Amino acid sequence: MTTALTPSSPSVSARASAGPWRTAARVLVRHRGAMVSLAVLALVTVACLLAPVYADDVAHTDPFTSNVAGTVMLDGRQVDIMQPNDNPLHLGLSPIGPTWRMAAYPLGADSQGRDVAARLLYGGRNSLLIAFSAAALCIMVAACVGIVAGYAGGVVDAVLSRMMDIMWAVPVYLFAISLSIVTVSQGLRIGPFTVASDNLLIPICIIALVYVPYAARPVRGRVMTLRRSEFVTAARGLGVPGHRIVLRDILPNVTGTLVVLAPLMTALALMAESALSFLSIGVQAPAASWGTIIQDGEGLIYTRPMVAVAPGLAIIVVVLALNILGDGMRDALDVRDGDRGRG
Amino acid sequence: MARAAGSDHRGGTLRLTAASSGGSLDPQIAYEHENLQLEAPVYDGLMAFPKSAPDRIGDGDRPIPDLADGPPDIRDGGLTYVFHLRRGVRFSNGQEVTVNDVAATMRRIFRVNSPAAGPYFSDLVGAAPCLNGRTDCTLAGGVVADPAAGSVTFHLVRPDPDFLYQLAFPQASIVPADTPGADTGNVAPPGTGPYRIVSYDPDRGLRMERNPYFHAWNPVAQPDGYPDRIQYDFGLEADAEVTAVENGQYDWMLDMPPADRLGELGDRYAARVHLSDMQVVYYMELNVRRPPFDNPAVRRALNDAIDRHAVVIHEGGPALALPLCGMLPRGLMGYDPACAYGRGASADHPAPAWQGPDLDRARALVRASGTAGQAVSIVTQTSPVAIAIAGEVRDVLTALGYRVTTRAITPTVEFSYLQNTGNDVQIGFTGWESDYPAPSSYLHTLFSCDSFHPGSDNSLNMSGLCDPALDAAMRAAALAQMTDPARADALWRQVGRDLMALAPVVPLVQTRRVDVVSARVGHVAISPYHLLLIAQLWVR
């Protein structure tokens, strides 16, 4: 009988996990904002995945090589991509502005004569890849740290928590910039393994690392609550090994917290990636990310604002969508907590 | 007539601005463009490059007598130069200039370890023991002053066709014999020009006033100035300098306007913007001793394939740069706009100017060389323009079939890094502006066997080219330039073509300078050597 009440029991856990998740999914589907956000994210992701199709088959352009001496056909005539300004001395050059035609620099060109639209899509691939990967890695590490600290308590908790406090004390962007400057100049060497400075693993790992304390702290708090719960106490009383309690009783109960954190951490990672790339210490040229494209557009902000505005808007849209989705998921998973509380 | 009209404009204070100061004011030490330019109306040498408006000087890049009262008497097949000093010229402290001051100045060049000592005056008799900066340097037998005759005689150990150019270089400016034998730093020794520097704080500014003892002995070599005072302030960034000059808070700015302000300057202030050629050549040096550029076909292929128009655009567009197919800048003796590479051109039938890249021919050359697939590392500077140009070269080399990486190094380090053969550089982006406007200071300095020093950071022949026939042709051209300029011009052109047949470099562009002045400024005169002549500006 006692074992029947333990959530680690296969029969009970199957019933308990199926119900709350289905309920959460139902609530989420009814959350209009979350669904619109999900659609926007899907749309952006698919568009970015189709970047090679746009570059090769629609625009016929290479978004990674300079094309300052190139031309484009507009209204039946060849137009220089980089155009001398129309003043008596022809001082200054401006890249071609948005043409709003899919096949001919719809968002204009940057100062290297590259198609901003193509770079926006390719840049989105890198930005989203880094953001999702860094968030996933961060949450995994944070889950481990939070669960170990929260469940073990005592000295282990003290050591891990102080380490997190130290990391927390350093402003996150300063921390990320410091790590990036070190790694971007000479790559990363760990024993026999070498990661080149332009490898996306570097920004992924750096961003994941700097946000670990932000995710680990709520996980630890949740685990500490769970550790004092009746079913964990009961499992301990029955002599269930600690690692089994963690895997079967604790982890399933912090999953909701982790799931709610995921979109929020992704949004934070996306902004961090953009900031690092804007400072030339994230994604390295000639590869693009939304941050590098904003940097490309910095000097053109008065003459060709679209170069910086387009990736800026993309970041805003994705971050907004992730935050709204995160809110929706939190609402949905709060229902599950409520159900469990009533149960 | 022009001077009489100009005399109405005498007076006022000219206000100049720069991001930072140019370092030491000691004329034997100062080497930054900023101080060389501002000291042009302060100091004189025996010879000078004209400091008057170009319409009055004609050929502005040839040295003319300044404190010397005429061209020197050249004897012994170019081993002896005898100058007669102009009489009655006084320093700004009232002291008369004597031949002893000239001899002392030449000794001082060595005593203060002037950057000009080794490169330009090591051929003086007696210079060898002086080159380590010994304070007892006497140049015995090298510079002989004869106060009674008012003459100074220079003896060289070997003929130097550029000797008069080197005497016109600002570091050979004459200062009083009692000037300390060490860098005077923030204190400017008395000079003979129309102005004297009365105060200098490298963090804040500099002030120049009229030299009360000046009289115009040669209005081309050293004309009188127009403003009564020149105030030079330091500390503004280039962006703020543009705004200040636009608003009339300053009359001229030293630094180049940022690229994103050029459109505005052209649109709204075109009448106040002055463009002029700089004697700067930007190029890719190719190491002729390292694969794949040890193969002449690969070097020619790259010359064919590089799109110089793209480099022009990276440098700011056709208003600010012009494509180059040779290593001599426009305006210099021997300059040749013809192009042996690119579309529609060949060594036998050069195009009259750059026509565009010929990627097909370049690919064929690379295929024939069998070097495709090799790794190439480009070294460039960390500036955005240098990185963009290196990117352009990277794309071309990739299109030709090489595996290319780019390495950016801070500009102050990169120039030495490219020179040292120990660094195994294959190809590097760099620029060269000579100290004086003679073709040899480009071609001989950068490509002669004498300039190649393996393992040294001071090996200006970065390509490692050593061709005795080319060296002999350069010597012949240099010898002709003082006696027969037309023949020298033709000889230097031929040297340029011979050099490009060997293709140890890919010449890219020559840049142009943008000078912006305030609305109240008139009589903007730009010399090929001294750039904008600040003392010639009218402010009233």
Residues of chain B contacting A65 with CB distance shorter than 8 Å:
391, 395
At residue B3 the predicted structure's pLDDT band, cuts being 50, 70 and 90, is very low
CA distance B496 to A111: 34
- Write down the residue that tokens 């939190």 correspond to: A330
- For helices A201-227 and A154-169, give the axis angle rounded to 10 degrees: 140
Tokens of A245: 């309690």
Q: Is there a contact between B313 and A68 if contact means CB atoms under 8 Å apart?
A: yes
Q: Which of helix, strand or coil describes residue B388?
A: helix
How many angstroms away from the CA of A123 is the closest CA of chain B? 19
Q: For B363-396, what is each residue's pLDDT tens digit?
A: 999 999 999 999 999 999 988 899 989 999 999 9
Tokens of B169: 């270089």
Q: For B266-290, what is each residue's pLDDT tens digit?
A: 999 999 999 999 999 999 999 999 9
Cis peptide leading into B292, omega within 30 of 0?
A: yes
Residue A184: what pLDDT? Answer: 77
Out of B264, B317, B395, whose CB is closest to A66?
A: B395
Asked if A84 is an interface residue toward chain B (Cβ–Cβ < 8 A), one would say yes
Q: Which of helix, strand or coil describes residue B188?
A: coil
Residue closest to B507 by CA, chosen among B341, B343, B284, B320: B284
Residue A4: what pLDDT? Answer: 38
At residue B493 the predicted structure's pLDDT band, cuts being 50, 70 and 90, is very high
Residues 6+ apart with CB under 8 A from B182: B111, B112
Residue B462, burial from CB neighbour count under 10 angstroms (0-12, 13-18, 19+): buried
- For helices A116-152 and A306-342, give the axis angle rounded to 10 degrees: 30
Residues of chain B contacting A85 with CB distance shorter than 8 Å:
262-263, 266-267
Cα-trace Rg, chain A: 25
Among A94-103, A305-314, A334-343, B378-387, the range of highest mean pLDDT: A305-314
Give exposure, B207-242, as e/b (b: 16+ Cβ within 10 Å): bbbbbebbeebbebbbbbbbbbbbbbbbebebeebb
Residue B135: what pLDDT? Answer: 67
Out of B259, B265, B319, whose CB is closest to A299?
A: B259
Cis peptide leading into B296, omega within 30 of 0?
A: no
Residues 6+ apart with CB under 8 A from B529: B49, B50, B60, B61, B279, B436, B437
Same fold, B13-234+517-539 and B280-513: no
Out of A66, A92, A303, whose CB is closest to B310?
A: A66
CA distance A327 to A320: 11
| Straight-line distance from the first to the last Cα atom of chain B, in angstroms, rounded to the nearest whole number | 18
At residue A331 the predicted structure's pLDDT band, cuts being 50, 70 and 90, is confident
Q: Which residue of B has its CA nearest to A65?
A: B395
Out of A66, A68, A92, whose CB is closest to B263?
A: A92
Which of B5-9, B78-82, B85-89, B534-538 shows the lowest per-residue confidence on average (mean pLDDT)? B5-9
Protein fold of B280-513: Dipeptide-binding Protein; domain 3 (3.10.105)
| Best to test chain B binding among A89, A94, A298, A302 (most B CBs inside 10 Å) | A89
Q: What is the mean pLDDT of chain B?
A: 93
- SS3 string, B247-301, reads CCCCCEECCCCCHHHHHHHHHHCHHHEEEEEEEEEEEEEECCCCCCCCCHHHHHH
Residue type, B39: E
Residue A10: what pLDDT? Answer: 43
How many angstroms away from the CA of B307 is the closest CA of chain A? 8
Residue B6: what pLDDT? Answer: 64
Mean pLDDT (whole number) for B98-117: 93
Kindly tell me the sign of the dihedral angle through the C-alpha atoms of A180, A181, A184, A186. Answer: negative
Residue A27: what pLDDT? Answer: 86
Q: Which of helix, strand or coil describes residue B401?
A: coil
Residues of chain B contacting A93 with CB distance shorter than 8 Å:
259, 313, 316-317
- Dump strand ranges (E) for B434-527: 505-516, 526-527
Q: Which of helix, strand or coil describes residue B375?
A: strand
Asked if A302 is an interface residue toward chain B (Cβ–Cβ < 8 A), one would say yes
**Beta bridge partner(s), residue B481:** none
Residue B279 sits at φ, ψ, to 5 deg, of: -85, 45
Tokens of B455: 């393992």
Residues of chain A contacting B354 with CB distance shorter than 8 Å:
none
- Write down the residue that tokens 């943008």 correspond to: B514
| Straight-line distance from the first to the last Cα atom of chain A, in angstroms, rounded to the nearest whole number | 17
| Best to test chain A binding among B268, B313, B410 (most A CBs inside 10 Å) | B313
Mean pLDDT (whole number) for B470-495: 91
Residue A302: what pLDDT? Answer: 82
Count other C-beta atoms under 10 Å from residue B316's C-beta.
Answer: 22
Q: Is B185 left (phi over 0), alpha (psi -120 to 50) or beta?
A: left
Kindly tell me the sign of the dihedral angle through the C-alpha atoms of B68, B74, B75, B78. Answer: positive
| Best to test chain A binding among B246, B260, B312 (most A CBs inside 10 Å) | B260
B interface toward A at CB cutoff 8 Å? 259-260, 262-267, 270, 273, 275, 307, 309-310, 313-314, 316-320, 387-388, 391-392, 395, 514
Q: Is there a contact between A303 and B263 if contact means CB atoms under 8 Å apart?
A: yes
Domains of chain A and any CATH numbers: 27-53+114-335 (1.10.3720.10)
Percent of chain B residues past pLDDT 90, beyond the cut = 80
CA distance A204 to B498: 53
Show the CA angle centred on residue A118, arms to residues A113 and A120, nearest 5°: 100
Residue A200 sits at φ, ψ, to 5 deg, of: -65, -15
Kindly tell me the sign of the dihedral angle through the C-alpha atoms of B407, B410, B415, B420. Answer: negative
Mean pLDDT (whole number) for B420-424: 94
Q: Is the ipTM beyond the 0.85 threshold?
A: no
Asked if A88 is an interface residue toward chain B (Cβ–Cβ < 8 A), one would say yes
Asked if A186 is an interface residue toward chain B (Cβ–Cβ < 8 A), one would say no
Residues of chain B contacting A184 with CB distance shorter than 8 Å:
none
How many angstroms away from the CA of B411 is the closest CA of chain A? 17
Tokens of A333: 């998973």
Q: Which residue of B has its CA nearest to A299?
A: B260
Tokens of B466: 């050593």
Residue B172, burial from CB neighbour count under 10 angstroms (0-12, 13-18, 19+): buried
Q: Is B231 left (phi over 0), alpha (psi -120 to 50) or beta?
A: beta
Contact present, A279 and A177 (Cβ < 8 Å): yes
CA distance B496 to B516: 34
Q: Which CATH superfamily is domain B13-234+517-539 in?
A: Periplasmic binding protein-like II (3.40.190.10)
Cα–Cα distance list, A31 to A22, A24, A267, A331, B512 (Å): 14, 11, 19, 9, 62
Domain extents in chain B: 13-234+517-539, 280-513
